[in-house]
């Protein structure tokens, strides 16, 4: 199936515009990923390489800390595996729309599959899904992430207490605006409540899999609740 | 040496992302599995927000004046009232920073 170039361009632009707020929201994290790399005595090329090749904020920040502390390769890779395990869930969830695409698209969009990509693109089913829209979302976010990393590398140590400025609220503001309209029935309320409680508890306990474990428990609670209310109705 | 780590991490993250998208993986999603995965957006995005809102600086902060907590509530109210993701995101961020500045100044 080939798409008319004008339509493809239109869909790509729509995706790029849709991800714009989230691209700006990650500015503080991108800056932090760049400046922390320099602070940990990585070369600018290595700092940029992390964002260009790994492209996973939380894993990058933790890995930089571990490199600084002299951790070995295996423990860094294992931590990365655990910290980014929510992507398994995203892949599974988007399997119906992504697995039928040609291999180039499949691998390309998989590489661009982030929390933010999932937040925007996963709402479309097979009929509504547009690969160019998805590419617009993913590629714009990738470019923004790398530009902010570059800015962080250039500014380096000149950014004073970036982590104390409360810039991480930008992520919350965006995700809350995406979640709140979806919470329309009891099972979703249960899912959100369980996920919220567990994520705070597990993070407090310093679990490396805190987020994915909390998310899975929340999803399970919502699912069970839906099954029960369905059986009663 | 650092680049070995970087490429290794890149591979691990890509495999996490790609594993379940591979069509040759013998896996068909049942209707139950699909219903379960329908909760992925609220479940996962909430889990990402939880620690940022309630554990700033890795300490539990449940006080009603916490800018993260109040800011989140403002964001929820705004998006439910206006239905505009972009507006409520920008307005709640503006609120958050003004409120924080006011708390620190007072």
What average pLDDT does the segment B2-12 reach?
96
Average pLDDT, whole number, for chain B?
Answer: 91
The range of the structural domain enclosing residue B34 comes to 2-105
pLDDT of residue B105: 77
Backbone angles phi, psi at A41, to 5 degrees: 65, 25
pLDDT tens-digit profile, chain A (233 residues): 556 889 999 999 999 999 988 888 888 889 989 998 998 899 999 999 999 999 998 899 889 988 888 888 998 999 899 889 899 999 999 999 999 999 999 999 999 999 999 999 998 988 999 999 999 999 999 999 999 999 999 987 676 666 667 777 887 888 898 899 889 999 999 999 999 999 999 999 998 888 889 999 999 999 999 999 876 54
Say which residues have a Cβ less than 8 Å from residue A125's Cβ, sequence separation at least 6: A96, A97
CB contact under 8 A, B76 and A176: yes
CB contact under 8 A, A119 and B3: no
Q: Give CA angle at A199 (A198, A202), nearest 5°.
A: 75
Burial of A54 (0-12, 13-18, 19+ CB in 10 A): buried
Structurally, chain B folds into a number of domains equal to: 1
DSSP codes of every residue in chain A: ----HHHHHHHHHHHHHHHHHHHHHTHHHHHHHHHHHHHTT--HHHHHHIIIII--HHHHHHHHHHHHTT--HHHHHHHHHHHTTHHHHHHHHHHHHHTTS-HHHHHHHHHT--HHHHHHHTT--TTT--HHHHHHHHHHHHHHHHHHHHHHHHHGGGSTTGGGTTTTHHHHHHHHHHHGGG--SHHHHHHHHHHHHHHHHHHHTT-TTHHHHHHHHHHHHHHHHHHHHHHH-
pLDDT of residue A49: 97
CB contact under 8 A, B45 and A115: yes
Distance of CA B100 to the CA centre of its chain: 21
pLDDT of residue A137: 97
Distance CA A99, CA A91 (A): 9
The complex's ipTM works out to 0.87
Say which residues have a Cβ less than 8 Å from residue B104's Cβ, sequence separation at least 6: none
A59, A110, A113: residue with CB nearest B9: A59
pLDDT of residue B36: 92
DSSP codes of every residue in A115-127: HHHHHHHTT--TT
Distance CA A148, CA A157 (A): 15
Which of A106 and B103 is assigned the larger pLDDT?
A: A106
pLDDT of residue A170: 81
Judge whether residue B87 has pLDDT over 80: yes
pLDDT of residue A24: 83
What average pLDDT does the segment B13-27 reach?
94
| Tokens 């697995």, located at residue | A99
- CA nearest to A123 within chain B: B41
Judge whether residue B4 has pLDDT over 90: yes
- What is the least distance, in Å, from the CA of A110 to any CA of chain B? 5
Distance CA A74, CA B4 (A): 11
- Residues of chain A found within 8 Å of residue B44, distances taken between Cβ atoms: 86, 89-90, 115, 118, 195, 211-212, 215, 219
SS3 B74: helix
**Beta strands, E only, chain B:** none
What average pLDDT does the segment B55-82 reach?
91
User: Taking the complete model, does pTM exceed 0.95, yes or no?
Assistant: no
What is the DSSP-derived secondary structure letter of residue B23? T
- CA nearest to B16 within chain A: A88
Judged by a CB distance cut-off of 8 A, whether residue A49 touches chain B is yes
Distance CA B88, CA B78 (A): 5
């Amino acid at each position: 199936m080939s798409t008319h170039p004008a339509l493809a361009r239109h869909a790509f632009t729509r995706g790029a515009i849709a991800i714009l707020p989230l691209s700006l929201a990650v500015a503080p994290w991108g800056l932090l990923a760049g400046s922390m790399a320099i602070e940990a005595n990585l070369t600018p090329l290595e700092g940029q390489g992390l964002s260009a090749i790994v492209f996973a904020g939380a894993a990058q920040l933790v890995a930089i800390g571990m490199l600084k502390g002299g951790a070995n390769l295996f423990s860094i890779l294992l931590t990365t595996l655990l910290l980014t395990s929510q992507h398994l869930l995203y892949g599974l969830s988007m399997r119906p729309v992504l697995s039928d695409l040609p291999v180039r698209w499949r691998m390309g969009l998989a590489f661009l599959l982030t929390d933010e990509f999932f937040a925007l693109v996963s709402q479309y089913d097979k009929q509504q899904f547009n690969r160019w829209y998805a590419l617009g979302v993913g590629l714009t976010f990738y470019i923004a992430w790398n530009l902010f990393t570059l800015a962080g590398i250039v500014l380096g140590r000149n950014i004073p207490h970036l982590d104390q400025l409360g810039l991480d609220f930008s992520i919350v503001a965006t995700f809350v605006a995406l979640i709140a309209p979806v919470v329309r029935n009891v099972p979703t309320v249960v899912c959100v409540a369980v996920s919220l409680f567990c994520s705070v508890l597990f993070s407090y306990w310093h679990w490396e899999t805190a987020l994915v474990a909390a998310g899975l428990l929340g999803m399970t609670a919502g699912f069970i609740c839906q099954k029960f209310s369905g059986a009663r109705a | 040496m650092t680049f070995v780590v970087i490429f290794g991490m890149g591979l691990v993250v890509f495999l996490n992302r790609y594993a379940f998208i591979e069509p040759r993986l013998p896996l068909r999603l049942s209707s139950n599995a699909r219903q379960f995965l329908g909760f992925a957006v609220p479940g996962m995005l909430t889990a990402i927000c939880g620690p940022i809102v309630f554990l700033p600086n890795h300490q539990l902060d449940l006080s009603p004046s916490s800018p993260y907590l109040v800011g989140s509530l403002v964001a929820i109210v705004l998006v439910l009232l206006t239905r505009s993701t972009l507006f409520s995101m920008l307005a709640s961020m503006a609120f958050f920073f003004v409120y924080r500045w006011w708390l620190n100044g007072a």
